[in-house]
Amino acid sequence: MRSTVEFIYRIGPLAILITACLSGATEERVALLKGQDIVITDISGRSLAKLTNDARRKGNLRWLPDGERLSYLVDDPEGAKGRLVVVDLNGKVAKEVPIRRPGSSHFEFRFIQSVEWVNSRRVRIEASHSPKNGEQFDLDVESGEESNWQFGYGGSFVASPDDKHVAYLGLVAMGPDEERTDSVEIDHESVVYVGEGPPQTRPGIRVLAGPVWCSDSKRVAFLERTRGTGDAAVTVLSVTGSFQRMPVPGHILDTPEVVCTDGRVVAGAGPGAVLVDPETKRIGNVTPDVQDRLQQQASTDRRRQEFLRTVDAIVRRIGGREGVGWRPSESQKKPYQWEIFHEKPP
């Protein structure tokens, strides 16, 4: 599995974006956006190679799945929302693709938030429509055609392991989050879940964790809380629209996490976590076999964190760091990304 780690640094007016790529012990490398130039280095941080030497303002630096090319966004001179540039490790531009040209029949968005490569030809773009809501779509970099549009709560889009479906939280109204009512949707509103019960009396729900895909790519699981009563439940929603909603103890809301493993759902964290079986609708303690799988995943996460610390040490030698977050993607086709945003020197 290939993994990447991304950092964004700001030291006064200096911006540094670092993306590290894992594809084996001999291929670990780092790409830096230092000022407006891309630099790559090995994991020691001592072997530097400058890829670009131009004044174009760059952002969203990403490794392609093959680890041999990089992409980044620049302003489009023809008025598109951005231009995706792909370069090889010699700095040669392989292609430039405009994103959402003027006059497009699709909705106009404010700006591009993230870029993620699905495969060597298709890139997944998330864009902002408002402070809360956004859009996700795929772009074919060979033809320039868009597909697979989704509209929902910004940052909630998650693709199935087989990459055939997308689940997300539906569009939300402006206003305080405590007054928000959620929906869980799949594949451009092909499936919409807004809670159990008839529409006239349905109180609405808040989704506190998820949606997360199960390994079969046919179901998502999430932890919901009923508005008004505060009741907690784990719901498993299929791509056909059927669902199983299973009440869980209220203490699960104290550690709102949800993991789907082999069709069963672990809700909560630590000693208070429970195992939910959608087939039997039984709720009990986490079984040893599920606990082993969770520990294996935790071990994988620790190895990634160790690599993160190694890359972080390289960046510390450059100087300046503030704020960190990371967003994993479970598909082997997609990288793991960590992002660090800096507003001022430490």
* pLDDT tens figures, 101-138: 888 878 889 999 988 889 889 999 999 999 899 999 99
pLDDT per position as a tens digit, 281-327: 888 888 888 888 878 877 777 877 776 676 666 656 553 222 122 22
End-to-end CA distance of the chain: 34
Question: Domain limits of the chain?
Answer: 1-110+300-327+334-343
The predicted-structure confidence for 193-212, as pLDDT tens digits, reads as follows: 998 877 767 788 999 999 99
pLDDT in tens, 144-163: 999 999 999 999 999 999 99
pLDDT of residue 102: 87
Residue 83 has pLDDT above 80, yes or no: yes
pLDDT above 50 for 228:
yes
**Is residue 315 within 8 Å of 7, Cβ to Cβ?**
yes
Buried b (16+ CB within 10 A) or exposed e, 163-192: bebbbbbbbbeeeeeeebbbbbbbeeeebe
pLDDT, greater one: 178 or 14: 178
Of 229 and 16, the one with more pLDDT: 229
pLDDT the model gives residue 325: 22
Q: What angle do CA 140, 146, 147 make, to 5 degrees?
A: 100
pLDDT at 52: 84
The answer to whether the CB of 213 falls within 8 A of the CB of 167 is yes
What's the rounded Cα separation, in Å, for the pair 17 and 71?
A: 13
Residue-level pLDDT at 343? 31
43 has pLDDT over 70: no
Per-residue pLDDT tens digits for 167-194: 999 988 767 767 788 999 999 999 999 9
CA 8/CA 122 separation, integer angstroms: 24
Q: Which one has a higher pLDDT value, 11 or 34?
A: 34
Judged by average pLDDT, the poorest of 73-77, 233-237, 298-302 is 298-302
Please state, rounded to an integer, the average pLDDT across all residues of the chain: 79
Task: Give all strands (DSSP E) within 27-162, no chain letters.
Answer: 29-34, 37-42, 48-50, 59-63, 69-74, 82-88, 93-99, 111-117, 122-128, 133-140, 146-153, 158-159
Tokens for 72? 């980044």
Q: What pairs with residue 4 in β-bridges? A: 21
3-class DSSP state of 330: coil
What is the pLDDT at residue 26? 39
Which residues sit opposite 59 in a β-bridge? 73
| Alpha carbons 101 and 112: distance in angstroms, whole number | 13
pLDDT at residue 328 above 80? no
Q: In percent, how much of the chain has pLDDT > 90?
A: 39
Question: With contact defined as beta carbons under 8 Å apart, do 330 and 160 qualify?
Answer: no
Q: What is the per-residue pLDDT for 206?
A: 92
Secondary structure element (H or E) that encloses residue 324, with its range: none
DSSP result, 203-263: --EEEEEEEEE-TTSSEEEEEEEETTT--EEEEEEETTS-EEEEE--GGGGGS--EEEETT
Write the CB contacts of 223 (distance below 8 Å, at least 6 apart in sequence): 207, 208, 209, 210, 232, 233, 234, 248, 252, 253, 256, 257, 258, 267
Residue 221: per-residue pLDDT: 95
Q: What is the pLDDT of residue 198?
A: 76
| CA 28 – CA 31 distance, rounded (Å) | 10
